[in-house]
Structure 1
Amino acid sequence: MINHENALNLLNSTSTTEILENLLNLSKLDDTNNGNKGNKGNSKTITYSKNAFIPVCTWCRNICGYCTFREENYTLLTKEQMKETLREADKYNCHEALFTFGENVDENPKIMEELNKMGYNNIIEYLYDIEEWCLNNTDLLPHTNCGILTYEELKTLREVNASMGLMLENSSSRLCKTIAHKDSIGKLPKTRIEMMENAGKLKIPFTTGILIGIGETKEELINSIFEINRINEKYGNIQEVIIQNFRAKKGIPMENYPEPTPIEILKTIILSRMILKDISVQVPPNLNKETGQLLLLAGIDDWGGVSPITKDFVNPEAPWPEIEELEMFSRELGYKLVERLPVYEKYINNEWLDDRLFKKIQDIKRKK
């Protein structure tokens, strides 16, 4: 594995030859073993998940300098609204229901009042109910990403989720004093790392990632990738890592901050693949519409969730590409675009999944 010193040299490198040599070495590895897919020869694949994005509630206790998802005048979706979207997604043969809401929404008394009127004691009970309905009435598998959850909350939601997620973003506590996270208590790295480790203890297949371009140093970026790898080496639960680039949006505190360059993103992907050897590396195609195809050269092996019916509510200004467009992009570089489930194949067993989820996945596979 690459060490910290060599990793820093790579990120600081301005040598075209050095960057291309690293790309060539990774490409040779792919040709031998096709990354972590286990395919032999030149049969290269890149995956995606056909999903429906369900923004359960748009309030959040965190006020991040780059976020447009949080709304003070929040929306709390009704169960019928969510069911309508899930039914529609089922018609489009989607298999992932991405449930998300702001962190610790129970702290908002107005939200709690609404939940109590509907007969729920908290947002987790509400979420569990709709996710159970999703499992029983559609062929979509829930994947929850809603900020910090306790061990007990993770344990409860494990029963109805094929996988779960939380972006680490960065492992540096220094960023909690910057414009990015100074008003976001939930972005304390130790809290996020604790949740990722709890998910590992509970055998929950997990998605995480880093956010680049929010004021981190190169050393902090490197440490964040190594931290994710440390957790996975201990628990084996990290199924994919998202390399997400900051995008400036009108009206956010960081509106005038520079976005990371394509070369910064490229070198971060190269570095991630060197460190995270048995973990899938994903880049959101809607945030890299102009350069995403070129990032295939670095060996990313997943495009993440793409929805035919809902927008990306976290990045509403960036529409999803059409699946046919992704297929064309992938094919031009010799990749076959393959749909996957929200849980990766190596986790589809009784060790990692609740029994009813395991059986549900077998039913879905028989229908495909």
Structure 2
Amino acid sequence: MDPSCPVRHRPALTGRQRSLGPSTCSRCETDSVTLLDPHRAGRRLDADAAALEAALTRAEAGEAIGVDDAEALLGADGEAHDRLLAVAARVRDEGLVAIGRPGVMTYSRKVFIPLTTLCRDRCHYCIFVDTPGQLLKQHKPTYMSREQVLAVARQGQALGCKEALLTLGDRPEDRWPEARAWLDEQGYASTLEYVGDMARAIAAETGLLPHLNPGIMTRDELDMLRPTAPSMGVMLETTSRRLYEEPGQVHFGSPDKDPDVRLRLLEDAGEARVPFTTGILVGIGETLRDRAESLVALREIQDRHGHLQEIIVQNFRAKPRTAMQDAPDADLVEYVAAVAVARLVMGSAMRIQVPPNLSDPQEFDLLVRAGADDWGGVSPLTADHVNPERPWPHLDDLARFTAEAGFSLKERLTAHPPYVNDAWLDPAIRDATYALADPDTLLARTTPDGALVRPQPVPRASEASVERSDSATRAAGVSGSTTPVVERSEAESKRLERAKRVESGAAAPFP
């Protein structure tokens, strides 16, 4: 390969990465590999060649991508797949240049805290959830205790983690008497009330920033939890009603997987001014049209509220002892195309996340070429309890893989830089967040020599000041405003102004 060639070549593909042999780079005449599934050679998935060509032409011209174009692009393979990845990478790179961090992939150093594995849903692919009987056999608690939660958080604190991911099943007390009894014994009205209490304890006693992934929440519950965490998240997964309504489909019998309910949550989170993470799940039985409609629905919500800080494109991996244990993993060609189409639909300003533990390292280059710019949360301590068979890559290895793809790896906070300001953060969580944010980049703070900064406990804002701020916010009706309604120090005002300029592209976060 000619090292001076600006084209990113990818290595020969093996295993799941099927190819039909080499093509030649027009710039340096080096053989590179055209990604193509031999079982699908010469045909399209749900999109004819003319529609695909028209969609590619519009994408390459920078035109907006609608549902029809997105569906066509999601079926790309062969040379069209290469063109799709090229335009997605270009859009991503333009966005990174605009915010002053070209060639940077981000991640969040986290601990994963599974607060409870009880759930009222019955998703056919899930291995995270237990029944009360299974908990007894495994000697696992109904809920993690405060002491257990803080023990994990303190271990993460010692390792320089900044994020505490709180993940749990949806409203287990609505299905399991054991969950209701535990909450009653501990004095909590709901699981979500306990989530908020644990999030406050984590921030106050360790300085870690909670990221809440507690399932479906009402608007009142979002308002209740907003002071406890800089960000929250729930995967949309898909807008397919077929997968929810038809017996035998993946979401049948799971009330919280109703697409309308999940879309309503995303709207409510925007109205509540909660920095939010969401995304799609690829390979659970949805069609290309379903994927296209899901991505466009997310863009429309973002256009209305601006609170979606990142979009996860996650590939399905079959789990043992589940109803989908014999289902094939998400097809790599389709998965990579979904990452690229997510980039084109959501635009250059959106962060597109791909979980690194759900792909093999030799596939990372393809994901980067498809327009991804974030690896999500990675833990040096805890397992991915949702995908326990897929360990996190070591952070040194992830940095090396990222460098091999032509990017550098930098740590961020659970709230992305455009949301690290008074306009988005509740007063009760601001001090803890700002303590870990680099004042110039709004990514994770490091020492002058680049060493990790370990979180420290941050005293909580007084209840009175938080209540006054919340009342003022409601009185001012700022659900769509970017102007904070609480008084700020000079330093806070400068931080907010810089964040606004970074978000708009008027200032570069990197000096």
Query: Normalising by structure 1, what TM-score?
Result: 0.95
**Alignment equivalent of 2:172, drawn from 91, 105, 109:** 105
- Report percent identity of matched pairs: 37
Q: Which residues of 2 match residues 230-269 of structure 1 at below 5 A? A: 230-269=300-339
Deviation string, structure 1 residues 323-365 (Cα, Å, up to 9, x no partner)? 0011000111221100000001101111111113222222223
Task: Name the structure 1 match of 2:160.
Answer: 93
Taking the aligned partners of 2:374 and 2:413, their CA distance within structure 1 comes to: 12
Contact 1:134–1:141 under 8 Å retained in 2: yes
Taking the aligned partners of 1:358 and 1:329, their CA distance within structure 2 comes to: 34
Which AA in structure 2 matches 1:139? Answer: G
Deviation string, structure 1 residues 12-56 (Cα, Å, up to 9, x no partner)? 233x22222232233334444426x7126xx30000000010100
Task: Name the structure 2 match of 1:287.
Answer: 358
Higher Rg: 2
Cα pair distance change 1:31/1:252, threshold 3 Å: closer
**Alignment equivalent of 1:200, drawn from 262, 270, 282:** 270
What secondary structure sits across from 1:337 in the alignment? strand
**Alignment equivalent of 1:34, drawn from 96, 101, 125:** 96
Which AA in structure 2 matches 1:147? Answer: G
Deviation string, structure 1 residues 299-334 (Cα, Å, up to 9, x no partner)? 200000000111000001110000001100011122
Q: Shift of the alpha carbon at 1:259? A: 1.5
**Alignment equivalent of 1:138, drawn from 206, 209, 214:** 206
Taking the aligned partners of 1:28 and 1:224, their CA distance within structure 2 comes to: 23
Query: Is 1:350 the counterpart of 2:422 in the alignment?
Result: yes
What secondary structure sits across from 1:130 in the alignment? helix
Taking the aligned partners of 2:201 and 2:370, their CA distance within structure 1 comes to: 40
Taking the aligned partners of 2:276 and 2:342, their CA distance within structure 1 comes to: 17
Q: Which runs of 5+ in 1 are unaligned?
A: none
Cα pair distance change 1:235/1:31, threshold 3 Å: closer
Which AA in structure 2 matches 1:172? Answer: S
Which AA in structure 2 matches 1:38? Answer: I
What secondary structure sits across from 1:34 in the alignment? helix
Query: Is 1:305 the counterpart of 2:377 in the alignment?
Result: yes
Query: Is 1:209 the counterpart of 2:279 in the alignment?
Result: yes
Deviation string, structure 1 residues 109-140 (Cα, Å, up to 9, x no partner)? 21121122122222222222211111111121
Task: Name the structure 1 match of 2:128.
Answer: 69
What secondary structure sits across from 2:437 in the alignment? helix
Q: Which residues of 2 match residues 354-365 of structure 1 at below 5 A? A: 354-365=426-437
Query: Is 1:152 the counterpart of 2:228 in the alignment?
Result: no
Taking the aligned partners of 2:210 and 2:157, their CA distance within structure 1 comes to: 13
Q: Shift of the alpha carbon at 1:9? A: 2.0
Which AA in structure 1 matches 2:73? Answer: L
Q: Which residues of 2 match residues 7-86 of structure 1 at below 5 A? A: 7-14=70-77, 16-34=78-96, 38-39=99-100, 43-73=102-132, 74=135, 75=141, 76-86=143-153
Q: Which runs of 5+ in 2 are unaligned?
A: 1-63, 136-140, 439-444, 447-511
Q: Which residues of 2 match residues 269-280 of structure 1 at below 5 A? A: 269-277=339-347, 278-280=349-351
Deviation string, structure 1 residues 117-167 (Cα, Å, up to 9, x no partner)? 122222222222211111111121011111111111110100101100011
Taking the aligned partners of 2:68 and 2:185, their CA distance within structure 1 comes to: 56
